[in-house]
Amino acid sequence: MPLAIVVGGFFGDEGKGKVAAYLALADNPSIAVRCGSINAGHTVVYGGRTWKLRLVPSFFVNRNVRLMIAAGALIRLDVFFSEVEETGVRDRIFVDRNAGVIEDRHVEAEKRDAFLVKDVGSTLQGVGFAMSDRVLRRLRLAKDFDVLRDYLVDVSLEVNSAIDRGEIVYIEGVQGTFLSLYHGTYPYVTSRDTTASAFASEVGVGPKKVDEVIVVFKSYVTRVGGGPLEGELPPEEAERLGLVEVATVTGRRRRVALFNVELAKRAIMLNSATQVAITRLDALYPNDKCVREWGKLSKEARNWVENIESSLKTPITIIGTGEDALCTIDRRKELGLGWR
């Protein structure tokens, strides 16, 4: 039953899109399911091109993968069709019939909410108001829109059947553990749970079918919008260290702090992580950019990874050394993990 969940370990922006794209190429899964909604952007760089995706799973780079959007997800029709066209996945992407649909009225309502705009730092995509409508049982679902008719499937049935056949399936989580509505820095959180258990629930698979949970951390911590960020660096210090970033969806500059071991430990606990992926190691060690073998990393970079691994007591199996999906070190085989 090879099922793995990819989940963010901090406040989003950890590089889940990059990790997912690499796993698509390395593991050749049968199905990849994306959860969440359009307020979470995943960036994929591969073959000299860059995609910034809010609905299409980052696993699309492998043309053999069937792509799906979970029942617990929220889609917006214009974003969905635009990304399907951009990625060329028309014949292999499917939407669960019970996925929710964000409408213009949700976006307009969110823009009028002063607390969400000024304090929380909402992405203003209408997600929170659509989630509210879902709870109140008045949200329109994918099955209510004729334009989606050819895309509709029972994602839970498709996924469970594939797992029972022994095929590899990935669930692509969104945002980060500490943006969870329940386990994050409330009220500066998103409108859903963002832990591995929640993503399994969104798709419709039970916990006994989950084999691996890969928690993705960046080599430093970033966050967009309001809320606490322990050890936050002044903007000028972030610039000096070369750690300045801009958010995929909002275009806002991300706040920055150095890697937080205690926060990472809690994320591992909350997600029952079996593996850890670390991205942007090259931001700390520029001379290691796009190194693809563990033994070819600089001694300083290896020591940093090993110290983090020792502190977290969880194997670091995937290491990102550059933006491109293939700028990755994969230690799973040597560590005896995964299904490679």
Please give the positions annotated as active site.
13, 42
Instruction: Report the helix count and the strand count for the chain, using DSSP H and E.
Output: 12, 16
> How far does CA 139 lie from the centroid of its chain?
24
How far does the chain reach from its first CA to its final CA, in angstroms?
A: 14
Residue 27 tokens read as 């593991």
* Residue type present at position 182: Y
Residue 191 tokens read as 């409108």
User: Do strands 42-46 and 49-53 pair parallel, antiparallel, or not at all (unpaired)?
Assistant: antiparallel
> How far does CA 210 lie from the centroid of its chain?
17
- Report the alpha-carbon distance of residue 176 to residue 188 in Å, rounded: 12
187: cis peptide before it, omega within 30°? yes
Contacts of 204 (CB under 8 A, 6+ apart): 70, 71, 155, 156, 159, 160
* CA nearest to 264, candidates 9, 8, 6: 9
CA distances from 55 to 93, 145, 213, 233, 339 (A): 10, 17, 21, 32, 27
Query: DSSP letters along 216-269, please?
Result: EEESEEEE-SSS--TTBPPHHHHHHTT---B-TTT-PBPEEEE--HHHHHHHHH
Q: Name the β-bridge partners of 324.
A: 45
